[in-house]
A and B are shown apart, each in its own frame.
Chain A
């Protein structure tokens, strides 16, 4: 019986990291109607940034977080001006194709530099053992950090002037421009913020699991499910979406063959799309 509870706790812990991973994607989607297909690559960039930083400096992995936030933000700005800016306001297919091609370039570069072999960042934190089940310290800390970062994002979007400007642009770009909000600057900032979130989630995932250059795809796919569960364009909802996905994984595993998990996940994805096309925690858009 406790095995089921353990699975649920495990699911929630990892689910919050999935949530954080999806937050960047849904922020960009919500603000500029761009499906950022470089998202998976940005997650992988976070993983490799952590690997390179800890390998070179011998620092604690968590000390790398501020550097990865700044680095991710800079990369995001660069990507915005390279691949996204000219696609704003054009049909969604344009930005989809443009970010898709940039993603191919990034994956190709990664493969050329690191190959598709295995990388591991050794992190050791004391875990919590209950009966025969252990919850690794890295998972607990990652979930806490994901929660804190989601809280910071929420506070930023709802408590600061720039955050309000981002929400205003998301809501109605024309009106935002009319009241004097510099939309281009706000858009590039929002994109860079989304990229930084993706990199940080990659960094946190790298403290949990070994990874390869191609790991991004699996998390990108998961992020889409999370977004649907959490509501399109709703960054705070993404955290709940992630936790919901983790819960489903944790709850379903003890009761059915593991190979069914993916069927359940995507079954849920389709069911939500049919029942609530805007996502479970959808924001009302005016």
Chain B
């Protein structure tokens, strides 16, 4: 009885070994936050990447000359912790022999992973780290697929300036690398646009009650708000601004309003804007890969939920790597890197081009973000693109109605 089991185990081991050593397979390593606070966004990123992998493999793999490479992922749970990222990316390169890497989710974890990828000279595409500092350290193997932090509220500043050039803005944001980078840029952009900044403060990420903070905003005489950071704090801010009748004419919040569950805030969500890397209504004409509507349709069919921008950027990361490998005609790191450096393409996710000067190498310079706003449509709250005007799917609501 034991013999067949033993044989089966040996066979399985041989099969795995054979698979790992298969020369017609490209191994891509990444960590995702399956547990911990970054789980929601990271899940989107991972599902997007998984969908790209399945698409590629179903189409016969990545074509390099007359060879076709199947794509294999090695994925670990980083528990939303930097220390795990450091250990696991090392393992991905050293033990799992990943030929390419995808970055983890969040600016903080990306910064940690980048240290490892640079150390081992492994090419890494990041679709979840927006803070630009990581890409300004002279890194050679890092490529950022999404718009850097400075772009998150650029549209919000422009739109607000167009509707009220004398707006008094309160900037209140989480004390984390991403939010700080976004709001530092927003502060500069607002000053340049002639808006008055009446409050500029960060709060601890563990803040639970914003009551006193909102009273401070009201006392400052602000009529507009920009800030937030993550899910609970962003949603709490929106709800408390509404309940405490701050009666602001403009509210822009990072990240939280990008989640469809933001609609559960009801009237507190109405009029809230957020910078988005991608929205389903965008209709770019891609040079390769799916169109926006195709991506949305197939994502819904596969995961039974709507794709958010994390999912789209995850898919786009895969698409960009695939294109670079095909252009290079090789899986040699240096050749693929050269193809990425030369790349300037349009995908369903938007335009993608990387900075090539040594100081900013890999920084995303072409992709543009849009401004999305929660609007009432047939008695239902929906998120619509409202800025820039040529990409808008609905008219901007200004001011947010008083209540």
Seen from chain A, the residues whose Cβ lies within 8 Å of a Cβ on chain B are 3, 6-7, 10-11, 13-14, 108, 111, 115-120, 122, 127, 129, 132-136, 138-139, 205, 208-212, 214-215, 217-219, 221-222, 249-250, 253-254, 257-259, 261-262
Contact = CB atoms under 8 A, between A and B. Distances in A.
Contacts of A134: 243-245
B261 A117 contact: yes
Contacts of B213: 253, 258
Nearest to B42: A116
Interface in B353-387: none
Given A119-B264, A122-B264, A259-B175, A254 B209 contact: no
Given A119-B264, A205-B208, 14 more contacts: A7-B216, A10-B209, A115-B39, A116-B37, A118-B232, A118-B256, A120-B261, A208-B209, A210-B265, A212-B231, A253-B215, A259-B202, A261-B204, A261-B207
A205 B232 CA distance: 13
A116 to B, nearest CB: 4
A132 B218 contact: yes
Contact of B206 (A6, A10, A212, A221): A221
B212 A10 contact: yes
A26 to B, nearest CB: 19
A268 to B, nearest CB: 15
11 contacts: A10-B209, A111-B35, A118-B256, A129-B245, A133-B218, A209-B208, A209-B239, A211-B232, A214-B36, A215-B208, A222-B208
Nearest to B232: A212
B401 interface: no
Q: Taking chain A's interface residues, is the majority helix, strand, or loop, or is none over half, making it mixed?
A: helix
Contacts of A111: 35, 39
A254 B244 contact: no
Given A11-B211, A139-B211, A262 B206 contact: yes
Interface in B25-44: 35-40, 43
Contacts of B172: 258
B244 A136 contact: yes
Given A116-B36, A210-B232, A210-B239, A261 B203 contact: yes
Contacts of A209: 208-209, 232, 236, 239-240
Contacts of A136: 240, 243-244
A12 to B, nearest CB: 10
Interface string B235-249: 110011001110000
B216 A218 contact: no
Q: Taking chain B's interface residues, is the majority helix, strand, or loop, or is none over half, making it mixed?
A: helix
B215 A259 contact: no
Q: In the complex, which range does the number of interface residues on chain B fall in?
A: 35 or more
A-B CB proximity, top 5 nearest: A253-B212, A10-B211, A3-B219, A210-B235, A116-B39
Given A118-B235, A120-B265, A258-B201, A108 B35 contact: yes
Nearest to A210: B235
Contacts of A250: 211-212
B259 interface: yes
A259 B231 CA distance: 18
A219 B175 contact: no
Contacts of B215: 3, 6-7, 10, 133, 253-254
A3 B232 CA distance: 25
Nearest to A133: B215
Interface of B: 35-40, 43, 172, 175, 201-204, 206-209, 211-213, 215-216, 218-219, 231-232, 235-236, 239-240, 243-245, 256, 259, 261-262, 264-266
- Of the listed residues B209, B218, B236, B261, the one surrounded by the most CB atoms of chain A closer than 10 A to its CB is B209
A115 B206 contact: no
Contacts of A262: 204, 206-207
Contacts of B35: 108, 111, 116
Nearest to A256: B201
Contacts of A133: 215, 218, 244
Nearest to B38: A116
Contacts of A217: 206
Contact of A258 (B36, B216, B259, B266): B216
Contact of B239 (A3, A13, A120): A120
A258 B203 contact: yes
A249 B172 CA distance: 16
Contacts of B39: 111, 115-117
A138 B242 CA distance: 13
Contacts of A218: 206-208
A117 B235 contact: no
A14 to B, nearest CB: 5
Contact of A118 (B38, B206, B208, B264): B264
A7 B212 contact: yes
B77 to A, nearest CB: 11
A133 B217 CA distance: 11
Nearest to B245: A134
Contacts of A115: 39-40, 43
A3 B216 contact: yes
Contacts of B232: 118, 209-212, 215
Contacts of A122: 264-266
B146 to A, nearest CB: 21
A203 to B, nearest CB: 15
Given A111-B35, A253-B213, A219 B235 contact: no
A116 B77 CA distance: 14
